[in-house]
Structures are given as structure tokens and as C-alpha cells.
Structure 1
Amino acid sequence: MTLKSTTDADDKDCWQTPVWLFDALDIEFGFWLDVAANKHNALCTQFFTEEANALERDWESHGAIWCNPPYSKILPWVEKAAEQSRKQHKAVVLLVLEDMSVGWFSKALDTVDEVRVITDGRVNFVHAGTGKEKKGNSKGSMLLIWRPFTNPRRLITTVSKHTLEQIGKKVRTGEILEVVQ
């Protein structure tokens, strides 16, 4: 049986990454640019909106690049992330649904350095309109990580959601202050 999404079409591609998750990854990567955002859900000071069309422009950045792409069309974002990591010489991290059975995942494996599966729970995204966390995500999440100057290793690793939450909390409370690179 296939589960069908109950999310309104207008909201489906506008979910914000929870701040604790972004903070936990930002401490590792040092994000500078969010390439799939709007003024309500951007997590970096520098961001591209839908109108700026990130898929048709270069992702020039002074640091790593973050992307929580529209889940309705992940493949173009996978292709652009691979291209821009090489071109910009920056790490690019995509937060995507954890589904290794789809074509875009096979395409990602051609170029990605690391696939990091988030275990021990599902990420609850933040509703673009209300700012509230939406419970009941029907799929897990994973990170696709491209690193410049690296031959794609296609590593598959895991990280606990609980670990990421703890790190994110420590960033918010000031217990962790420095970006690790």
C-alpha cells in the first residue's frame, strides 16, 4: 500500500528545516548560503528564493551551501548540487527524504561523497505559515553531502536524530560556539 501525502499542495514544498537540525549541521559545515528558501524559512543570511531560481544560476558562496529542496522534484537539485560543489569548490548539503529506491538517489550516488541517514526518529519540519513543527512525517530523512576536492567516496553513514538535537541545543545555549571545519 502506498501512503499518499495529506499536505496541502500550496505548503508541500515550503517546509522549514528545524533550527536544531540546521544548527547541528552548521557547526560542522559553516553554511553561508541557503539555495531553496523564502523570507519566512531561510536559515542563512544569504538565500535564494523561488523567484531567484537557484537551479538556473551559480551558487556563489563564501562558505558551505545548504539546501532543503522541494521534495516534489529532488533530481534537479541533486544534479545542481553536484555541479555547484565542483564549480564553487564548496561543500553542499541537501536534506532529503530517506528513500534509496528512487532514481534521484541512484543519480546522487554517481557524485555524492556521503549519504548520512538520520536514525532514531523522523524529522518534524516547520510549517511555513504557522512556524509550528508538524508531527507525523511519513518518511525518514537523510543528508546528501558533496565535498569539493574529493573523489566521491559514496560513504553511507548514520547519525542519531537525538544526537543532532543535543548538538543543536548546545549551539542555541552557547555551549558550542565554533564552527568545526
Structure 2
Amino acid sequence: MVNDYGGSTTPPEHRDSWQTPPEIFAALKQEFRFIADVAASAHNHLLPVYFTEHDDALAQDWAGRLPIGFAWCNSPYSAITPWVQKATEECRKGIGTVMLVPADTSVGWFSLARRSCTEARFIVDGRLSFIRADTGKPVNGNNKGSMLLIWNPFASDFGITGYVSRDTLMAIGRKLLSDREPADERAA
């Protein structure tokens, strides 16, 4: 059996709808040039092209609907396994996926991902403060670290393990986001 993450203390109605911190997303978007947010909602999507629960991204043919490139996936933590399976399938068809998941190597979905993804990149030097779905505010106290699982259909290497500092990602993201602000907002 492939177990999913079960350590959340978040109320069930909000458990699977946390948004990625904008700075983290901006830094990763700069690197991967995402084409779609495949596990989103109308309230937490980070790209103009996104799939909601209603769209059922797991049943969609991403390669048939999206241009070649990388999809962003902050998968529901209550059911990570089907997203790992979907990312593996879509990678074979030319769509890469960068998936944000809890840093937990003891669960079945990690073992499954390790056999198919090109890179596991651990976010070190701190935990992410995800954005609450109900308030839109960042929340400290994440009970696990985070990592990125990357399926790159353009890479010849397989099974790379890497590390990136949370603070480095946040600094890059803050710089990218501030560079995008209109000049009159920066002057205020």
C-alpha cells in the first residue's frame, strides 16, 4: 500500500487548499517557466491556466491540452500518490511537473516518485509558511519541511537529489515580485 501524508492538524475543510507562498512560486517560475497550475482552485491558482477539482486534473490529458513545458503542482497533501502517478504519466508524454510535497522519505508515494522523477530537491534552512485558504494570510508553524519532486522530460539524468535554501528562494522571489510592481507603487 502506498500511504499518503496524514500528519496535518489543519481543519479538514481547508486541509487541501493551502496556497504556495508567492515568493517561493515566483522563484520556481523563473527557473521552470510554468505553463499551468494543475492542482488549484479559483481562489488559490497561481497561473492564468489552471485546473480545479471540478476540472479533475487527474483525468485530463495534460499533454493534449497544454503546450510542452512544466506544470506546477502543489498537490493535495491528503492524496499525493495519484499526483505522483499522473506526473509520471505526463512526463512520458512531454509535460514536466514540479510538485511541492512534504519532505517525508518514509511514505509510499516518495518511494514511487523516487523511481520515476528526475530530481528530489529538499527545501532546507526553514519551513514554508503556506497561505491559508480561508484567510489569505501566511501561517507559520508548518509541522514538516518541504521538498520538490521534479519530472523533467528533457533531462537525461535520473534520480538526482539536491537542496535549495528556503531563504534563497524567498529572496529571489521577493526580488522578482518587487521588480514586477509598477513604479508608482514602489514610490508609495
State the TM-score, normalized to the length of structure 1: 0.91
Q: Residues 6-21 of structure 1 correspond to what in structure 2 (within 5 A)?
A: 6-21=9-24
Corresponding residue SS for 2:161: strand
Matches for 1:98-109 after TM superposition, within 5 Å: 98-109=103-114
Matched, 1:160 2:172: no
Conserved? CA contact 1:112–1:152, under 8 Å: no
Post-superposition shift, 1:38?
Answer: 0.6
Residue equivalent to 1:24: 27
After superposition, where does 1:27-176 map in structure 2 within 5 Å?
Answer: 27-59=30-62, 60-62=65-67, 63-87=69-93, 89-151=94-156, 153-174=158-179
Q: How big is the shift at 1:150?
A: 3.1
Matching residue's letter, 1:121: G
TM-score for both structures, normalised by structure 2: 0.88
* Percent identical: 49
What is the rounded CA distance, in whole Å, between the counterparts of 1:110 and 1:153 in structure 2?
A: 9
- Whole-angstrom distance in 1 between the partners of 2:108 and 2:7: 19
Tell me the SS of whatever aligns to 2:132.
coil
Superposition RMSD on alpha carbons, in Å?
1.4
The C-alpha deviation readout for 1:84-122, integer Å capped at 9, x for no partner, is: 1221x1321000000001110000011100000000000
Measure, in 2, the Cα distance between the counterparts of 1:79 and 1:141. 19
Q: Indicate the SS of the match to 1:108.
A: helix
Unaligned runs of 5+ in 1: 176-181
